[in-house]
Amino acid sequence: MNAVFTEKLVKKYGNTVAVNGLDLKIEQGELYSLLGVNGAGKSTTIKILSALVRPDGGKAEIFGKDVVKNAAEVKGMLNVSPQESAVAANLTVWENLAFIAQIYGFSKAQAKEKAEKTIEEFSLEEVRNKRAKTLSGGYARRLSIAMALISEPKLLFLDEPTLGLDVIARSALWKIIEGLKGKMTILLTTHYMEEAEELSDRIGVMVKGSLAAEGTARELTEKCFAKDFTEAFIKISQGDFCEKKAAFAEKESE
Ligand SMILES: Nc1ncnc2c1ncn2[C@@H]1O[C@H](COP(=O)(O)OP(=O)(O)OP(=O)(O)O)[C@@H](O)[C@H]1O
Ligand SMILES: [Mg+2]
């Protein structure tokens, strides 16, 4: 069974087709990066998969459960970060963690324990008594991911987790994400090519609402005859479907 499965998935906003016949399969335990230029449809896909937005066509399943018919069950298996609304601005880091743990049904004592453990795991010791609204961007992202993990999800969506972070904060977050690999299925979106290269098992490039290419960074770079993955990504995003070209080149050389 796939962690994520979509077939001919469609979502329209008026005349805009945000998701346009998307076929996506993510295996259990995989870290999959969904890339694409602004407006390609990544966040809309994540919203459909999180059962927050209803698709207009096709189907989407999370661990075999339909996101429309089994929305409650689907929501129970996954979590999303950053989800700014989930962070209470006036509560401290520790309070946010303990609070969210109680929301997920942990007792007061268990919630305290969870908050302590999470603070240690995410190196939040330094800011444990700071109110969320006073945190720097890097710590705020870290808290957001930590909160998403309190529910112990089988599937985690990270929508641009390192947007705007400095190199040190970013590499700290990469370490955290690397530590989560294999423990759960992760779907990540990012505009940083080196982030996708560093973290992903597989990468999918979305162009205008559907998947234009898929593979490891290396495979995509080779298929596109590109000097690096950034160049491959640009070629794919500009509609230069390298896979077909690669097949043609193979035939030529036979
Ligand atoms: N609530 C909405 N109402 C109207 N149009 C929307 C809405 N949400 C998204 N769209 C449109 O759907 C398309 C896909 O948007 P989406 O946010 O999924 O892209 P994205 O790949 O996440 O982009 P970015 O990299 O900028 O985050 C865009 O054209 C966007 O303007
Ligand atoms: Mg987006």
* pLDDT of residue 82 exceeding 70: no
* pLDDT of residue 4 exceeding 90: yes
**Predicted local confidence at residue 250, as pLDDT:** 64
**Predicted local confidence at residue 87, as pLDDT:** 85
**Predicted local confidence at residue 156, as pLDDT:** 95
**Predicted local confidence at residue 169, as pLDDT:** 85
* pLDDT of residue 163 exceeding 90: no
DSSP 217-243: HHHHHHHTT-SSHHHHHHHHHTT--HH
Residue pLDDT, tens place only, 102-157: 999 999 999 999 999 999 988 899 999 999 999 988 898 889 989 989 988 999 99
Predicted confidence band of residue 168 (pLDDT cuts 50, 70, 90): confident
Q: Tell which atom from ligand 1 comes closest to the C-alpha of 206.
A: 21
| Tokens encoding 162 | 């390192």
**Predicted local confidence at residue 102, as pLDDT:** 95
39 alpha carbon, closest ligand:
1
Pocket test for ligand 1, best of 6, 11, 37, 38 (most atoms within 8 A of CB): 38
Residue pLDDT, tens place only, 19-63: 999 999 999 999 999 999 999 999 999 999 999 999 999 999 999
Rounded CA-CA distance 180/147 in Å is 14
Q: pLDDT averaged over the chain?
A: 92
- Select from 3.40.50.300, 2.60.40.2550, 1.20.120.10, 3.90.1150.10 the CATH code of 4-82+153-215: 3.40.50.300
How far apart, in Å, are the Cα atoms of 8 and each of 19, 45, 74, 211, 254?
9, 12, 19, 11, 35
Q: Which amino acid is at 84?
A: E
Distance from residue 39's CA to the centre of ligand 1 (Å): 5
% of the chain exceeding 90 in pLDDT: 77
* pLDDT of residue 211 exceeding 80: yes
Q: Is the CB of 43 under 6 A from ligand 1?
A: yes
* Tokens 């880091």 -> residue: 93
Domain edges within the chain: 4-82+153-215
pTM comes to 0.91
Distance from residue 159's CA to the centre of ligand 1 (Å): 13
* pLDDT of residue 227 exceeding 90: yes
Contact 209, 40 (CB under 8 A): yes
Return the minimum-mean-pLDDT range out of 106-120, 187-201, 228-242.
228-242
| C-alpha dihedral (196, 218, 220, 158), degrees to nearest 10 | -10
